[in-house]
Amino acid sequence: MPKNPPFYIYLRSLTTSPPELSVLNIYTDMCPHVSNRGLGRQLTDKWYATHQFIAEMIFHARAEWHPCRVPDPARARMFYVPFYAGLYGSSRFMEREFGVRDGLGVELGEFVSGGKFWRRMNGKDHFMVVGRTAWDFMRANDGVAEDFGANRLLLLPPVKNMSILTVERQPWHGLNQFGIPYPSYFHPYTSADVAEWQDSIRQSKRTHLYSFIGGPRVNVEKAAVRNDILHQCAQSNRCIRVQCEPGSTNCHEPDRVLEVMKRSKFCMQPPGDSFTRRSVFDSVLAGCIPVFFSEHTAYTQYKWYFPVRREEWSVFIEPDRWGSIEEELNRIDEERVEKMREKVIEMIPLVTYAHPNASFGELGFEDAVDVALMELTKHVNTLASN
């Protein structure tokens, strides 16, 4: 791994009381998901039932032991602020009092912008990792009519000066936001672990042309294509459909999800409540070529991680062809399919979060955290030179 400038991790606690573990999410009991430093319930040595919105905890766990971390802020080139914005935001989601909903974020902004090292670049050398989508932190105004539960963290002036790593950036105005992978279930210790998994994926029997794991969305315009996918998949014997129903575990069990994707050549990746999906990274892990229906599900999001030439590793279907998915996939000859799958398999280490206990001396590959630190280095260097 190329040498990065040293970074410092802020350690000071904020004065506002954090929420109890039992209320970290108003919809879900997060206690099992924050265990094992954010990896969640352990399945086997390297596999965990990892929650899709927990990247901020995993990144922090990896950064604590990173060889570029320094204990002296005077030696640091970048400053990492390990604020668990996603967990805090979900615990206060839909809170009626905006002051309560926004309070800890406001205190955070005041704290970091008051530090002496902030003044060096007015915060442009500071960064934060957010485990939820940027939309959850960009409440446009204080009008209740337009409020869906978000806070204003990413719109606070100090935070707008920082670099924000998020699993989904705002594509149009999030100039200080950078997309990082949703965490999947695989957290290897060494490059040998990765190679072993890649070899097993290459040998998978792809018995079906395509698959879709997901459910319909009601009154979400960008997700209208899901109905087309579900209908076409149900009518075809070349498609595997796993429809997610409220309360069902079908779409949240790692073995079930990966088994379906390992049997498929292509995996459908339509937008849902937001543009992006954790399923994109599950499909990469399974060596299943992702098929996109919106530019913002991957192409405008994860430029640090995915090849620039989208046709090398994915398929994009235009809206006027949404009704002919199988026909579109059949146009791709088998030789090109094999090349695309191999490219997807090569991408696995870059979008994987290595186990926090992995030794950097033995790791042997660059994972999602390493990639982020390298790209942040370039970004901060560019800002410093301007």
Mean pLDDT, the chain, integer = 91
List the structure tokens of 360: 């950097």
Q: Which domains does the chain have, with CATH numbers?
A: 7-184+353-385 (no CATH), 192-351 (3.40.50.2000)
| C-alpha closest to that of 353 among 58, 31, 60 | 58
| C-alpha closest to that of 276 among 354, 155, 171 | 171
Q: How far is CA 144 from CA 67, 92, 150, 354, in A?
A: 46, 16, 11, 41
Q: How far is CA 315 from CA 66, 128, 189, 246, in A?
A: 36, 32, 31, 29
List the structure tokens of 284: 């990469």
**Residue 66 carries which side chain, given as an amino acid letter?**
H
User: Cβ neighbours of residue 209 under 8 Å, at least 6 residues apart?
Assistant: 236, 238, 239, 264, 265, 266, 326, 329, 330
Q: What is the pTM of this model?
A: 0.93
The secondary structure element, H or E, covering residue 59 is helix 55-64
User: Per-residue pLDDT for 256 more than 80?
Assistant: yes
List the structure tokens of 99: 């002051």
How far apart (Å, rounded) are the C-alpha atoms in residues 250 and 234?
A: 17
Q: What is the pLDDT of residues 139-195, one digit of tens each?
A: 987 655 567 788 999 999 999 999 999 999 999 988 999 999 999 999 999 999 999
Q: What is the average pLDDT across 233-239? A: 96
DSSP 23: G
Q: What is the pLDDT of residues 61-117, one digit of tens each?
A: 999 999 999 999 999 999 999 999 999 998 888 888 888 899 999 999 999 999 999
Band of pLDDT at residue 1, cut at 50, 70 and 90:
very low
